[in-house]
Structure formats: C-alpha cells, structure tokens
Amino acid sequence: MDFEDIDTIAVLGAGNMGHGITEVAALAGYDVRMRDIKDEFVGDGYDNIEWSLNKLAERDQLTQDEADAALDRVTPLVDVEEAVSDVDVVIEAVPEKMEIKKDVYTEVEEHAPEDAIFATNTSSLSITELSEVTERPEQFCGMHFFNPPVRMQLVEVISGAHSSDETLDAIEALAEDFGKTPVRVRKDSPGFIVNRILVPLMNEAAWLVHSDEATIAEVDSTTKFDMGLPMGSFELSDQVGNDVGLHVLEYMHEVLGEPYAPCPLLEEKVENEELGKKTGKGFYDYENGGVDIPTDAGREDVKHRLVAVMANEVGKLVENDVAPVGDIDQAVQLGGGFPDGPAKIADKTGLEALVDTLEETHEETGAERYAVSDGLREAAEDGGFYSTEDDTPAEFDNVTVEYPGDMVGHIELDRPHRMNTVSPELMDDLADAVDLLEDDDEVRAILLTGAGDKAFSAGADVQAMASNATPLDAIELSRKGQETFGKLEECSMPVVAGIDGYALGGGMELATCADLRVASERSELGQPEHNLGLLPGWGGTQRLARIVGEGRAKEIIFTGDRYDADEMAEFGFINEVVDNESLHEQALELARDMAAGPPVAQKLTKRAMLAGRDDIDAGLEVESQAFGHLIGTDDVMEGINAFMGDGEPDFEGK
C-alpha cells in the first residue's frame, strides 16, 4: 500500500499509548477506529482524548472547532472485526508482552484487508518474530511512538527481516503526516535506537551504585548537570518505571547476551515493588520529598564511565548497521531529550579516552558489558564517530544556516527537542553564524527563527546554567550572552526575528537584539527570571527599556508574566502579528524587503542609533558624518533616479 492510499487507521489499545496515537492520527485528519477489549477501557481512552483536545483548544494550540472535528473522527470499538475490517493501517499498542501481541495479530489477521499494513508500537520486542505470526510479514514493521505521543516528536520506524521498502516508506510518510519526525531503524535489534542507548545507561548507573563506586546523588548530579541530560539516570528510571526498564533489559539480556545482564540493585527494586513514581517509591521516595539532586556532586570519573557505555552502544548500532551515526544522534535527542546526541557527546569527550576507560574497567572487573565494540574502536581510530565523509556533521551543531535567496541569510536555532533553549554551545554557534553571514557579500539581511512551531526560544538551558553555578562562572555566562546577542544588535545589516511560540527569558532577550520582530498569533513572550529569583542577565535589563520604555520594561520583568503577541505589539515590542501558518513566510518577506534596502545607509543608521543610546550628542555626530558619507554614493543616485522615474531602486552597496 502507498501512503497516498491511507485514509482509515485502526489503533489497537486505548491505554496511554493507544489513546495518544489515536489522538495524533485524528488531529492529522484520519478516521480512526480505537479498539480495546472492554467497553470501559475504550470509554476511558475516548474520555482522555476529549480532555486532551479541549486542553489544546484552551491553550489556543487549535480551535475548538478543530478539536471537535478531531474527536468526531474517533470511533471507540470493542469488536475486532468491526475495528479492522476496512482499514488501511493497523497500529497495535497493546501491553509490551510478546504473547499478548502475538494473540492480537492472530485475531486481527482474520479480519483485516489483504493490503493493510500492520505496525507495532513496541519499544524493544522483535518485529520479525511478531510479523511471522501473520500472513503478511512484508507488510509488517515497527512504529514506535514515545510517551506522550501528542507531545513527543520522534517515531522510530523499524524494519523487520521481512519488511518491504514500500511498507517502511509508507509508514515513514504517515509519521511525517502526523507531524512527527520518523527515524529509520534498519535492522530489528532489541531496544532499537533510543532504548538501546538509555536502558544500558540506566543499568550502568545502577551498577556504579551497587558496586559502591558512587552514590545515587553523585550519579544523578553527573548525568543531569555535568552531562546536561534532562533527568538524572535514577530519576529517569523512576519516571519510566523500574519494572519497565528491567523488562527491556531482560529481553536484551536474553537476545544479546551477558553485556546486558540487569543490575541486582534494579532487580531488588522491582522485587520490593518500588517501581518508581507510579508506586510512590523507587530510587527516590515520592511520598517523602521526591527527587532531590544536588547540582555540585558530579564526578568526572562517573561521567567518563557513563559516556563510555553510551559510546560503546553507538559503536554496536553502527557496526551492525542498525542505524548511521547521524540518525542515532537525532533519535536520542528527540526521543530522550539529550542536548547533543550520544555520538557527539562521545566525540567531545574523546573516543580514545573512552576506549581506555572501558578497557581498564573490563580488566578490573571482567564484566562483559565493558568489552569494547568493534564499532567504537574503529571510530576511535578514525578520530571520532563524525570523522567519515558521509557522517560529517553540519558546520554548526545548535543552529542551521540557510540561504533562502534575495540576499537573506537565515539562522535557525536548531534545538527543537529542548524548545530551542540557549546553551553556551548554542551561543558559540550563533556568534559564528553571525560572523559567517557578516562576511558574505551576498547577504544583506538576517532572518532569525527557532526550529519547530513550539518555541522561538523558551529561554536559557537551565541545566547548562546549573553546571556553571558559581558566582564567577555565572558572571562570565552573563557576559557571554550579552556579547553574543549584541553581535546581532551591532551587525551591519538589518536583523528580523520571526517568533513562533514561546520567546521567554533568554529567548526574549535574544529577540530584543533584532531590529524588527514578527510574531505568530500563538506566541507568548515574557521575562520570567524574577520567578526564579534571578534577573534577565543577557542584556534584558538594558535593551528592553529602550524598545518599550522603562515603565513597560519594569512591568514585564517585575511581574514575570507571559504576554501574548497582540499585547507585545501594543507595547511596541512586536512590529507585526501574523497568523500562525504564515509566520515564516511573512518574516522572510520582511527580511527580503530589508535586504533590498540601501546596505550602506542601513549600516550607518544602525551605527548612529547605537551611538546615541548613551550620548545623544555622539549619536548626532555619527549621524551627520554618515549623512556626509552617503551623499556622494552610487546608492543615493540610484535612489534619486528611481524616485524621479517612479521605479524601484536597485541598491548595490556602492
């Protein structure tokens, strides 16, 4: 079946994943049959979808009419034949037990159309083994959504041994039509990509504590604040469910062997029914304070051990052709919320040092999980995972630079998995990107946007800030942000910020440095630093007042409130508010208009205005000198001739 032929979808299972996938499909315009084994189960799933859609409407992420229409496309069912008899795709999301899933497919095979595609939402089980229960293994693949499906961007599309290219292409296209980012998993291997990285990482964290090499506080402080991951390893295990992690590990151990033997500490937690957040107690006690991770307890040796284990798993995935390095990093960033992919983290740490760490630990313990993979060893010999021509990363890791034409250079903040939050690494890339465009004679205006439609930038990367928590380091971080953002303010060409979604804290401070700002209707802006006991530290206390006035600036900063785009337009901060769908087009059009202007006059105008901020006499002097410089230029003659001839000037910057 081709993607173009897909209209109707059956989702088997109405639990958290099932009703979430159903909602995603319905929002994308598909008719969805949601089936479970009892009326109460499908009823609960339907109610959850209705609640979620109404919440999205309340937050203006869609209209109430759109929410109602999506709900109308969902049909809750118990009868299997009625659910699957005339659908194009069956997405199964029943409990993660091989026998349960096999029983479901045996029954579904009797009633589904011959050309229907079967896709299993499994996090680790064998796609090949499941497909062989059916009479259509070539029309069978994995389609692994992440929880919650409505919010999480990644979908792993997994090939079984029999999956046809046509099936995989159709499911990838379907995931894209759902508004998700599909990543192809080329081989059916336990854990696929994301869990193959995360689960051994959590297991190694447990081994460090079990063997008295580190404490839970030291491990979680290292992973959350030194490595910059969204959660500590034990915090993540509690969040996912220690039983879930153990189940995946046991399957990996069964299929892949001794390196994946579960740590006894994890087994003990599950035996004691300390499963994590859902039971009130796991590695943390949620009925008595919950998670409490110190920011300064991280250890370099713990970091090296954990990064080495991750790098080893990347090496295994690459050597076994499960996925290329770039796809592994993208998947773990989107599915695990990592600031960088595990391969890039490993490259920055140094692969030779990581190989040494594994070899030394292997020699000391004899544990097979430290045996260096051929993939990691080969990458270390090549100088890094990204040393080969095919896998060379883009010039920037945290921003993307594009040239959409008409003398516009486009810088996109490219951390959508972290709401484009600003880290020190992003600042470095942003500064270099501005320099790159400044040096390009073919670029006369800069457009600045954020990847995705949720955030221009939701502010500072708090975890990156926490790892620089000493006063002296914080001062340097503040200065770094002031100087980096100031490059936009001081560059010689006009800068247009296209704001779509959140522009909060450091994100709003960044937008403040643009010359013009266009925002979508759904955008929310604010300086919430006072809510954290901080103040805007990247120029916000100075630059905002110059745009909206001191009174409004104090209101925005002191209240810490969020303001919608229309309010910020009334304040004079936003130049134009446009509808959500046309934000990029309108912002680019404004940048093109700016690029068509007289570049020398624009450069000197910005210089005069900056000079006059602190000293009006100095600004007036720069203005008069600039006026004298411009009067004899070719651009002025071009402008005058065009004006007299009622035409459009073609400025050449001369």
Peptide bond into 528 cis (omega under 30): no
Strand order in the sheet with 562-564: 455-457, 502-504, 524-526, 562-564
Tokens of 447: 């457009």
Q: How far apart, in whole angstroms, are the C-alpha atoms of residue 433 and residue 428?
A: 9
Query: Strand, coil or helix: what is 387?
Result: coil
Max CA-CA distance within the chain?
87
* Vertex 534: Cα angle to 528 and 539 (nearest 5): 80
Segment holding 611, helix H or strand E: helix 599-611
Q: How far apart, in whole angstroms, are the C-alpha atoms of residue 421 and residue 452?
A: 12
Segment holding 118, helix H or strand E: strand 117-120
Is residue 633 left, alpha or beta, with left meaning phi > 0 and alpha meaning psi from -120 to 50? beta
> Residue 103: CB partners within 8 Å, gap ≥ 6?
none
To the nearest 10 degrees (0 to 180), the angle between helices 351-365 and 374-382 is: 140
Residues belonging to the chain: 654
Q: How far apart, in whole angstroms, are the C-alpha atoms of residue 638 and residue 109?
A: 73
Q: Which of 235, 274, 509, 524 is catalytic?
A: 509
Q: Which of 529, 581, 589, 652 is catalytic?
A: 529
CB 212 within 8 A of CB 58: no
Tokens of 359: 């070899």
**Chain-centre distance for alpha carbon 169:** 23
Q: How far apart, in whole angstroms, are the C-alpha atoms of residue 64 and residue 203?
A: 45
Q: How far apart, in whole angstroms, are the C-alpha atoms of residue 230 and residue 57?
A: 28
Pick the closest to residue 3 from 173, 120, 201 (CA basis): 173
Q: Which residue has the tokens 């295994």?
A: 316
Pick the closest to residue 257 from 173, 368, 347, 383 (CA basis): 368
The reply to whether 509 belongs to the active site is: yes
Output Rg (C-alpha) for the chain, integer angstroms: 27
* Strand-strand pairing, 524-526 and 74-77: unpaired
Query: Strand, coil or helix: what is 436?
Result: helix
The reply to whether 442 belongs to the active site is: no
- Neighbour-count burial of 357, counting CB atoms closer than 10 A to its CB (0-12 exposed, 13-18 middle, 19+ buried): buried
CB 586 within 8 A of CB 556: no
Q: How far apart, in whole angstroms, are the C-alpha atoms of residue 212 and residue 146?
A: 33
CB 385 within 8 A of CB 346: yes
Q: How far apart, in whole angstroms, are the C-alpha atoms of residue 76 and residue 26?
A: 12
Q: How far apart, in whole angstroms, are the C-alpha atoms of residue 68 and residue 66?
A: 5
Tokens of 647: 């035409």
Q: Which residue has the tokens 């980012």?
A: 181
Catalytic residue numbers? 509, 529
